[in-house]
Each structure stands twice: as C-alpha cells, then as structure tokens.
Amino acid sequence: MFYLKAEQGRKSEKKLLKDFNLHTILRLPTGIFYAQGVKANVIFFDKFAPLEDGHRTNDVWIYDFGTNINLTLVTNSLNDEHLKDFIKCYCANDFSKRTESERFKKYTYDEIIKRDKTNLDITWIKDESLADLENLPEPDELAKSIISNLEEALTVFKTLDV
C-alpha cells in the first residue's frame, strides 16, 4: 500500500491514461484497509509500449462500490459476496458486453482529460452521509462513535507483527 501527494497522484493518473490502457477503476469504501476517511481504489490496466503521440486509454469504466457502503476492518469486513455485482459488471471475457448501471459508469479519455488536473476521483452517486448536515448527532454521540472507531483500529493494530 502506498500513498501519493495530490500532485504526484495527478502525474501518475496522466501516465496511466497515456501509456497504459486504464480500463477499470473499482472505488472501495473508505476505511476498509486502513482508517476511516482513507480512500482506496483498485485499478485495472494493460501495459503496452508507450506511444510517441496519443494515448492508450480510450474508455475508463468506474464501479463505485464506495459511496453509501459501510464496511470496517473488523466488524463488517469486505468479502466475496460484496463484490458479486462488480464481477458481473466487469465482464472479464468480453468488455464489449459491459453496460452502465447505477454503480458502473463509462467515461471517455476526452471527458477525463478535461477534468480539473485529470482527476480520476469521479463520483456521481449522492453520498447519503452528507445529505442532511442539519441533523448531525449530538457531540457526545459523535465522540462515542470516534472512540469506538479508535478502539476498533487499536484492536487491528495489536494483531500486527511489527
């Protein structure tokens, strides 16, 4: 696992689009590999020799498994059942059979390159956790939730051989 600063990430994204056929991104829920709020994506690409001019990527399919999905490291971890719809949509044997759905969308190279700094963090599903900021829990409830998350993370850390 590695992390890139925003500027480094944008350079990597442009290189992926230009020199590789970046065909699929699986957006995962935050916190399933590390801490809450840490984003994780699985990228699927084919490597080719670089082109002098042009780009290898034509279309990027994005499966948003992250928005409104609540998984944790310990109590509700990612499993095979969670990924069944993605596997069905992915169409590993024939990408031409892919169709858009609520969670699976196609973006062309031109659409992506026009985005601010070629940003691949594309979302279209409304995040229900941000929908009603007027009705946030009381501060003591938020504090209890934070403590619970920290205790859960501590449990995971204690299982690591460091």
162 within some domain: no
Q: What CATH number did the domain enclosing 79 receive?
A: 3.40.50.150
138 within some domain: no
Give the model's pLDDT for residue 84. Answer: 96
Strand order in the sheet with 59-64: 40-47, 20-28, 59-64, 104-108
115 within some domain: yes
* pLDDT tier, 4 (very low <50, low <70, confident <90, very high otherwise): very low
| DSSP of 46-108 | EE-PPPSSS-S--EEEEEE-STT----SSSS---GGGGHHHHHHH-TT-GGG----SSEEEEE
Question: What's the mean pLDDT when you consider all of the chain?
Answer: 82
Give the model's pLDDT for residue 5. Answer: 42
49 within some domain: yes
The model's pLDDT over 44-84, given as tens digits with 9 standing for 90+, comes to 999 888 788 888 899 999 999 988 887 777 777 888 999 99
Q: Which of 91, 43, 102, 42 is nearest to 67 (CA)?
A: 102
151 within some domain: no
Return the SS3 of 154: helix
Amino acid at 76: N
Give the model's pLDDT for residue 48. Answer: 83
Residue 22's beta-bridge partner residues? 45
Give the model's pLDDT for residue 150. Answer: 82
How much of the chain, in percent, has pLDDT values that exceed 70?
Answer: 84
34 within some domain: yes
pLDDT: is 137 or 71 the higher one? 71
> Does 107 have pLDDT greater than 90?
yes
Query: Whole-angstrom Cα distance, residue 85 to residue 90?
Result: 8
Domain of 38?
A: 6-126
pLDDT: is 153 or 60 the higher one? 60
Domain count, the chain: 1
Amino acid at 87: I
In total, the chain counts a number of residues equal to: 162
107 within some domain: yes
